[in-house]
């Protein structure tokens, strides 16, 4: 299935010069959604052993991370933008392709010995994923790898990440 054909390109969003890869057109297509989640699941099963937790970043990481965790028999842990999580959090700052922000995770969400996969819809500069890796590794968990639906190659994103396997389904 040609998943790339289901992704819509929006020039100059959210700022001039950014070509936004819009996944809402993939999500609204029943076959596209099923194929994306099933392919991601199969590739993760082939590549990673015994994933305890899938960590997904707000907000688009939630869309793919939760069904993936369900299919893998893992738990899902949300990493959120500041001020959204109710219990005590750990924090990290990160850079976006179009801004700077902070991410938070509940400090009791992970601990020593947890086997963790980080999932997001897209990697651009890698700032979000690198920051999430920092949050995960600070807890003493084992970071097994990353899975993204889309990789924007040429922005150097994967070079920012720790040396673990990185799965991607669609590349630009
Ligand atoms: O590799 P990077 O340069 O860090 O960019 C990738 C991140 O940017 C987007 O999220 P965004 O912060 O726009 O938030 P959203 O998911 O709530 O739309 C995307 O979903 C990734 O999380
Ligand atoms: N070009 C882009 N399209 C969609 N989401 C993004 N997140 C960061 N850069 C992006």
The CATH code of the domain that includes 75 is 3.40.50.2020
Rounded to the nearest whole angstrom, what is the distance from the C-alpha of residue 128 to the centroid of ligand 1? Answer: 7
The reported pLDDT for the residue numbered 96 is: 72
Q: How many domains does the chain have?
A: 1
CA distance 127 to 34: 28
Tokens 């990290």 belong to residue: 92
Ligand 1 in contact with 60 (CB < 6 A)?
yes
**56 pocket-lining for ligand 1 (C-beta < 6 Å):** no
| pTM given for the model | 0.97
Whether residue 53 is contained in a domain is answered as yes
Assigned domain for 149 exists: yes
Q: In this structure, what DSSP letter does residue 170 have?
A: E
* 32 assigned to some structural domain: no
Within a domain: 136: yes
- Cα(98) to ligand 2 centroid in Å equals 8
Give the mean model confidence (pLDDT) for residues 45-68.
98
Catalytic site positions? 60, 97
* Torsional sign, CA 63, 97, 129, 107: negative
Q: Is the CB of 151 under 6 A from ligand 1?
A: no
* Tokens describing residue 109: 């969400």
Share of the chain above pLDDT 90, in %: 95
The answer to whether position 37 is within a domain reads no
Q: Ligand 2 mean position to 165 CA, how many Å?
A: 22
Residue 16 resides in a domain: no
Test site for ligand 2: of 97, 98, 120, 130, most ligand atoms within 8 A of the Cβ: 97
**Predicted pLDDT at 93:** 87
**What is the distance between the alpha carbons of residues 169 and 172, in angstroms, rounded to a whole number?**
10
Residue 14 has pLDDT above 90, yes or no: yes
Tell me the average pLDDT across 59-64. 98
ipTM of the predicted structure? 0.98
**pLDDT greater than 70 at residue 140:** yes
Q: What is the 3-state secondary structure (H, E, C) of 92-112?
A: EEEEECCEEEEEEEECCCCCC
Question: What pLDDT was estimated at residue 86?
Answer: 98
Residue 42 placed within a domain: no
> What average pLDDT does this structure show over 12-21?
95
> Tens of pLDDT along 76-125?
999 999 999 999 999 998 877 666 789 999 999 999 999 999 999 999 99
Angle at CA of residue 73, ends 147 and 41, nearest 5°: 35
Range of the domain at 81: 49-171
pLDDT above 70 covers a percentage of the chain that reads 98
How far, rounded to the nearest angstrom, does the alpha carbon of residue 134 sit from its chain's CA centroid?
Answer: 14
Cα separation, 83 vs 81, in Å, equals 7
Residue 99 in any domain: the answer is: yes
Q: Which pLDDT belongs to residue 97?
A: 63
């Amino acid at each position: 299935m040609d998943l790339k054909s289901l992704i819509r390109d929006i020039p100059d969003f959210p700022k001039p010069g950014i070509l936004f890869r819009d996944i809402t057109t993939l999500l609204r297509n029943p076959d596209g959604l099923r194929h994306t989640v099933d392919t991601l699941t199969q590739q993760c099963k082939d590549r990673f052993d015994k994933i305890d937790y899938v960590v997904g970043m707000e907000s688009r990481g939630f869309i793919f991370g939760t069904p993936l965790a369900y299919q893998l028999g893992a738990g899902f842990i949300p990493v959120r933008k500041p001020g959204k999580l109710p219990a005590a959090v750990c924090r990290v700052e990160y850079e976006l392709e179009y801004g700077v922000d902070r991410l938070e995770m509940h400090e009791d969400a992970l601990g020593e010995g947890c086997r963790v996969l980080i999932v997001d819809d897209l990697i651009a500069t890698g700032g979000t994923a690198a920051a999430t890796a920092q949050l995960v590794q600070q807890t003493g968990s084992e970071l097994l790898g990353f899975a993204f639906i889309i990789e924007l190659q040429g922005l150097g994103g994967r070079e920012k990440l720790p040396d673990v396997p990185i799965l991607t389904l669609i590349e630009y």
